[in-house]
């Protein structure tokens, strides 16, 4: 029985890898417009849309944050004009330095761009400090003097919204 289950698992992993390869080929080379649209979609879901003028974005996925930063560069924002704030659960407060190091290394930014970490109290079902280093916290990315770009982004999102 165990051999059959392992065979099924290996077949499933092979099918998944094959479908991922098909997915990569499906898109081919992405154009500037394609990347712009993906960035707009991310901002629509995770970006700051309030009237305070801040151009900000919050997420916990390092790959999504990295894409967002590269999208900002495409839009003419220098990485040196970014401010980061890490939010972590208070049960990870003794790992703050490791978590910040993960983020600034992964994103290729300076540690000095990080503001004071925010600690939150909540019950985490998935993140357990004893289960390794999978917890990364939530990262907020804010653009200095980004009000004009934020309004352009919101205008583009209004246009998309009106078309559907």
- The reply to whether 23 and 49 lie within a common domain is no
- The reply to whether 3 and 49 lie within a common domain is no
Q: How do residues 65-82 score in pLDDT, each as one tens digit?
A: 999 999 999 999 999 999
Residue of 152, 158, 159 lying closest to 72 (CA atoms): 152
Q: How far, in Å, CA of 148 to CA of 47, rounded?
A: 15
The predicted pLDDT at position 77 comes to: 95
Per the CB < 8 A criterion, the answer to whether 85 and 114 are in contact is yes
The more confidently predicted of residues 107 and 23 is 107
pLDDT over threshold 70, residue 132 = no
Domain range for 73 is: 31-163
Residue of 67, 47, 22, 78 lying closest to 153 (CA atoms): 47
- The reply to whether 13 and 73 lie within a common domain is no
The more confidently predicted of residues 51 and 73 is 73
Six-digit token string for 152: 């352009």
- The reply to whether 43 and 6 lie within a common domain is no
- The reply to whether 37 and 48 lie within a common domain is yes
Q: 35: buried, middle or exposed (CB in 10 Å: 19+, 13-18, 0-12)?
A: middle
Q: How do residues 101-120 score in pLDDT, each as one tens digit?
A: 999 999 999 999 999 999 99
pLDDT band of residue 6 (cuts 50, 70, 90) is: confident
- The reply to whether 8 and 45 lie within a common domain is no
Mean pLDDT, residues 12-21: 92
- Domains of the chain: total: 2
Q: How far, in Å, CA of 14 to CA of 97, rounded?
A: 38
Per the CB < 8 A criterion, the answer to whether 139 and 103 are in contact is yes
pLDDT over threshold 80, residue 150 = yes
- The reply to whether 45 and 89 lie within a common domain is yes
- The reply to whether 69 and 13 lie within a common domain is no
């Amino acid at each position: 029985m165990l051999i059959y289950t392992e065979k099924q698992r290996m077949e499933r992993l092979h099918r998944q890898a094959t479908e991922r390869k098909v997915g990569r080929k499906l898109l081919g080379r992405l154009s500037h417009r394609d990347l712009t649209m993906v960035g707009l979609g991310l901002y629509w879901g995770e970006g700051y849309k309030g009237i305070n003028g801040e151009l900000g974005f919050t997420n916990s996925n390092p790959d999504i944050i990295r894409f967002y930063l590269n999208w900002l560069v495409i839009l003419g924002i220098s990485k040196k004009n970014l401010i980061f704030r890490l939010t972590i659960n208070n049960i990870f407060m003794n790992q703050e330095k490791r978590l910040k190091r993960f983020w600034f290394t992964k994103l290729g930014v300076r540690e000095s761009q990080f503001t004071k970490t925010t600690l939150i109290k909540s019950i985490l079902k998935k993140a357990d400090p004893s289960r390794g280093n999978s917890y990364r916290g939530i990262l907020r990315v804010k653009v200095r003097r980004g009000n004009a770009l934020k309004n352009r982004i919101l205008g583009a999102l209004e246009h998309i919204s009106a078309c559907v």
